[in-house]
Amino acid sequence: MPNQQEDVVLILKGVIYRSVEFPLLEDFLVEKYGFRRVEEKEKEVSEVREVFPSSREEIVFGEESRAHIVSEETEKKFSSLKILEGTYLDSKITVYVMGDVICREDLVEVSGEETYRVYTAEYQMIKILSESGYALQQLLERLKTDTGFKVESKDWSFHRKT
């Protein structure tokens, strides 16, 4: 009997990605791990931008005056189908971003002069396919370490190739 291989499929639901460098998980995978975009379809549903008062005294009081404040927030919601391919630990990995995505970009003031951007993306569903379950598990651990990556639920499945 010939040696059959299996594809490992990992379905992630309720994914939250947070970064100060890259707005989306897809951008992170392309820039940091050399993934390439195979397909990209996106339809914007809505966009909201809010600018808050810049005077810290109007927003916070007493001890809170040293806390970080958000001075600007932009939120986009879109429906997405994106496919990325790449390798991790010498294993081919395909990432499918499917469903609704909510992206927020916050301009955070640490002090009166120091500001930085925080990107947060909430994904409805991400499907990851590979021949190596170990590579998928290690990629998830790396994402948790490198970014604010959280997953509400994971479903693993295995499919034999014929």
**Domains in the chain: boundaries:** 6-52+67-157
Spell out a b/e string for 87-99, using b for 16 or more CB atoms within 10 Å of the CB, else e.
Answer: ebeebebbbbbbe
Quick one: pLDDT band at residue 162, thresholds 50, 70, 90?
low
The more confident residue out of 121 and 5 is 121
Quick one: pLDDT band at residue 148, thresholds 50, 70, 90?
confident
Question: Is residue 23 over pLDDT 90?
Answer: yes
Number of C-beta neighbours around residue 54 at 10 A: 12
- What 8-state DSSP symbol labels residue 54? S
The more confident residue out of 2 and 32 is 32
Question: Is residue 3 over pLDDT 80?
Answer: no
Q: What share of the chain is helix, strand, coil (3-state, %, to 5)?
A: 20, 60, 20
Quick one: pLDDT band at residue 158, thresholds 50, 70, 90?
confident
High-pLDDT (> 70) share of the chain, %: 80
pLDDT reported for residue 109: 77
